[in-house]
Structure 1
Amino acid sequence: MDESLSYESFFEGANRATQKAMDDHANREFDEFALHSGVAVERLAKAALVRVSPLYLVEMRNNNTDMLLHFGGGLELPSDKVRTIGAKDALARLRKLQILPADSQLDTLIDMRNGVAHASGGEGAKFLLPTFARAVEQILGHLGESSERFWRHWASAVRMGLNERESEVTREVHLRIRQARHRFDERFVGLPEGARDLVVGAPQRGQGDGDRPYDAPGRHRDHHHGRLGDLPRVRGPGIGDDEPNESVQHRCHPGPRRIPLPHLPPGAEQLRGDQGVRR
């Protein structure tokens, strides 16, 4: 029998489709999620069936004995002539074997998958991630396969999605946090070691020292006592009687020049204190 119909082939195909489905959901591409999650469930269901017997994949239509003989190993058929059951039939057989329970939400996901494949929208699949994860977990448990290895970096997100002790809103928030963390980590794949730490440790906008104005015009800071005072008033060419000479500040009050500080949100100044960077 063709290697593409082996347990390993179906299982690996299900794993690839699952990773794509989780990425789609994280990127809020719910039509693609419906498509890939449906493919993943179908291939995983077929993996479970073929492990029991390849004959369980035979499509029983038109008394096609050639297909039965092919899956039984008694007849070779060209690969383009081989047909297997669809997702709905695969799930129905797993339920008859008591490997999967009946689940109308899972049936809805498969319907959405077929709808997306025929150009219909799949936006409603947004809320079916727990349904998808639950079906996969049930089949993996029957097969004795590692859940951690199958979900890979999505394992913690799946556990949270299946945690029925948490409210739906809480599960959604935790799921989004894990999805965002995964998307962030993906940006550094292939970059030199330490690149991620440099970005994480860099000051964000509104933090650090970089663009806050020095002081209000006409005022100076006494660097010895930390007090603000009036600039000296001088007379001279081009200088009015009541106009402060900014250059006098540096001659009369020498000291280190302050690097401008960034604008901080309300309340942040109280937390950071006066920590201007001097040079």
Structure 2
Amino acid sequence: MESPVTFDRLYEGAKRFARLAMEAHADEDQEVFLLHAGVSVERLAKAALVLVHPILLTEVDGKDDMLLHLAGAVAKAPARLRTIGASTAIGRLRKMDVLPQKPSSEADDLDGLIELRNGVAHLGTGDVEDYLATFTATVVKLLRHMRQDRGSFWETWLALYARTGFWHRSWGAVAERDIVVRLRVTGSYETAYALSPDSRK
């Protein structure tokens, strides 16, 4: 039986939640956006770790069932799957120089996104700043590290905007402004490219 903890499953899950996040952002539903964006980042971060070795998803807590399974020593997955959370996955990728190191505004923004995701999941949240730039910049960094095609990852998101008509509206005003904000905040032309029509090629 194939392990449920594989690169393909994590990566495809990240794509699905990215689409849901972008759909929620288009609907101006910030809570749902934060929830899905955080899940997408977590799964993509775990996918990046699995490419190195699945054992990097193991919690260091003295229990070895998951450790043995991810190391390939035991074929059957434990009845209860327990892997590291988003913050630990991000922390490990920072040690590998994949994601921005602390102290930096990029690192703080990413931590803020994950903290707000957790807050939404448990208690809900009030008005918060827009984390779209943080979400897209993080995804682009992880995709580049894993050598995954940006256009393929964002394909459903781009299709969503084409379907709703937001795409055409955006290049007149809305998304063009968003991309300028992303460039100013993240300093990353890759982020703008990941969300541009060129990435569909």
TM-score for both structures, normalised by structure 1 = 0.55
Partner of 1:67: 66
Give the secondary-structure state (helix, strand or coil) at the position aligned to 1:4.
coil
- Is structure 2 residue 138 aligned with structure 1 residue 135? yes
Q: Root-mean-square deviation (CA), in Å?
A: 2.7
Cα separation, 2, equivalents of 1:112 and 1:154: 22
Alpha-carbon distance, 1:160 to partner = 6.4
Structure 2: unaligned runs, 5 residues or longer: 102-106, 159-166, 186-194, 196-201
May I ask how many residue pairs the two structures share in their alignment? 168
How many Å apart are 1:98 and its aligned residue?
0.7
Per the TM alignment, residue 152 of structure 1 is displaced from its structure 2 partner at its CA by 1.6
Residue 116 of structure 2 is aligned to residue 117 of structure 1 = no
Paired AA for residue 47 in structure 1: A
Q: Identity across aligned pairs (percent)?
A: 40
Q: Structure 1 residues 70 and 21 mapped into 2: Cα distance closer, same or farther (>3 Å)? A: same
Amino acid aligned to 2:37: S
Give the match for residue 253 of structure 1.
none
1:273: which partner in 2?
Answer: none
Q: Which residue is equivalent to 1:28? A: 28
Query: Where does residue 202 of structure 1 map in the other structure?
Result: none
Indicate the SS of the match to 1:95: helix
The equivalent of 1:267 in structure 2 is none
Task: Give, in whole Å, the separation in 1 of the partners of 2:182 and 2:134.
Answer: 16
Alignment partners' CA distance in 2, 1:143 and 1:46: 11
Q: CA deviation at 1:66?
A: 2.5
What TM-score do you get using the length of structure 2 for normalisation? 0.74
Structure of higher CA gyration radius: 1
Where does the alignment leave 5 or more consecutive residues of structure 1 unmatched?
169-177, 179-279
Contact 1:115 1:122 in 2 (8 A): no
State the one-letter code of the partner of 1:58: T
Tell me which residue corresponds to 2:7: 7
Q: Which has the higher contact order (CA 8 A, sep 6+)?
A: 2
What is the CA–CA distance in structure 1 between the aligned matches of 2:70 and 2:177, rounded to whole Å? 40
Distance 1:95 1:45, change over 3 A: same
CA distance in 1, matches of 2:132, 2:39: 14
Matched position secondary structure for 2:79 = helix
Kindly indicate whether the alpha-carbon contact (under 8 Å) linking 1:59 and 1:83 is maintained by their aligned counterparts in 2.
yes
